[in-house]
Amino acid sequence: MRDRTRYLYVAVIVAVLLGILVGFLWPDVGKELKPLGTGFVALIKMVIGPIIFCTIVLGVGSVRQAAKVGKVGGLALGYFIVMSTVALIIGLMVGNIIHPGEGLQLTDAARQAAEAEAAKGAESGSTVDFLLGVIPDTLVSSLTSGSVLQALLVALLTGFALQAMGAKGAPILRGVEHLQRLVFRILAMIMWATPVGAFGAIAAVVGATGIEALKSLAIIMAAFYITCLLFVGAVLGPMLWLVARIKLWSLLRYLGREFLLILSTSSSETALPRLIAKMEHLGVSRTVAGITVPTGYSFNLDGTAIYLTMATLFIASATGSPLEFGEQVALLLFMMVASKGAAGVTGAGLATLAGGLQAHRPELVEGVGFIVGIDRFMSEARALTNFAGNAVATVLVGTWTGEFDKERAGQVLAGHAPFDEASLLDDDEEKPAEPEAGDKELTKV
């Protein structure tokens, strides 16, 4: 079957260019198109909970030894902590070298925007509130609340319960697998609305921001993008090659369509289901992909860590109140903890930044207004970096646990085993499974 989705992604590129054009020429019209982008992201988020639930239940429930799941989760969390720390250090180094924000002055408009964002950040609550928020009201509400961590918790509990049931849980697992196929089919249908969503989202942000705001903040934007590229190329790339013997460019090219989707929506969450499916297709086991990817979306915040670093140093310099090194580390560590679970949510980094400043250095909160105008563009880099980090992490954890087929990966990256874009599932998975012996006897009866 020919891959008709290539036309879809050409349409996305055209839609993004048209959105930029409309935003510049008719800014008022562009701002009115914002609901198109908002609606598309809402459609994607609608299926995130069920996809995470099905994937993790299948990954955990199909493993007979619970220790294996614990090993995967432990390695993933350990790796996420180390990489987030490395991203924080790189951001601090670059920020202290270039001193972004020097010479700028606050305005009343910036102060008002900052206060609004600080209010949003304050709503996040304490660490205790965050931990209690992981527990859903009911099992079903975890799939409808939009919380990745709630879906993750219920899915793990369900997976371990099915694991303990043994053979009696097999029919339920097959039912969950059929449900996963259904949700992936729905997602494939939603993806055809991508050009419309991208057009509306880009037109709205360009219409609201304008070119002058971009010029005034060119330094911080360039520094942030360069830092993200430095982290991906100088840290993730060598790690991927040393551990899995895979070239970073080959993996990023394989995930090219997902990067384009993230670029048009500024949210890495929109590509989460596709990343899980593509990692399994690449040769990572279902268990590793099903645990590492969703967990990474809550705890592997490489791009967000860099963003919080650069934005904090920028605001401190812009307000004439530079932070001491100890203050920088303490404030940014707090922000990293506060941002857990919000990696895929557009704008969550801005709210975390405002909330952290409000808690530690209230006099700096007004500086968040400088970031508001370009947060959408920085959000894209955050999302792209987070996504690249999660993709690399999945391959690395799969390699460390012996759950990664390198020969299969070589075939996929070479283009010899194409991914089925129509269904988000492998071609061989579409074939009906052979009935087991017991099923054959029932058929005869």
Q: What is the pLDDT of residue 345?
A: 45
Q: What is the pLDDT of residue 445?
A: 31
Q: What is the pLDDT of residue 246?
A: 93
Q: What is the chain's percent helix, strand, coil content, to nearest 5?
A: 80, 0, 20
CA 75 to CA 66: how far, in whole Å? 15
CA 92 to CA 309: how far, in whole Å? 6
Mean pLDDT by 10 residues, the chain (445 residues): 60 81 84 82 75 75 62 84 85 79 51 52 57 79 73 83 82 86 80 81 72 61 87 93 93 89 72 87 89 80 82 76 76 63 50 65 67 66 88 94 91 86 51 41 35
Q: Are 281 and 426 in contact (CB under 8 A)?
A: yes
- Exposure string for 237-259, b = 16+ CB within 10 A, e = fewer: bebbeebbebebeebbebbebbb
Tokens standing for residue 245: 């013997």
Domains of the chain: 8-417 (1.10.3860.10)
Q: What is the pLDDT of residue 355?
A: 62
Nearest-CA neighbor of 177 among 295, 50, 64, 271? Answer: 50
Q: What is the pLDDT of residue 440?
A: 39
* pTM for the predicted model, two decimal places: 0.65
Torsion sign (Cα): 211, 213, 219, 222: negative
* Amino acid (1-letter code) at residue 38: T
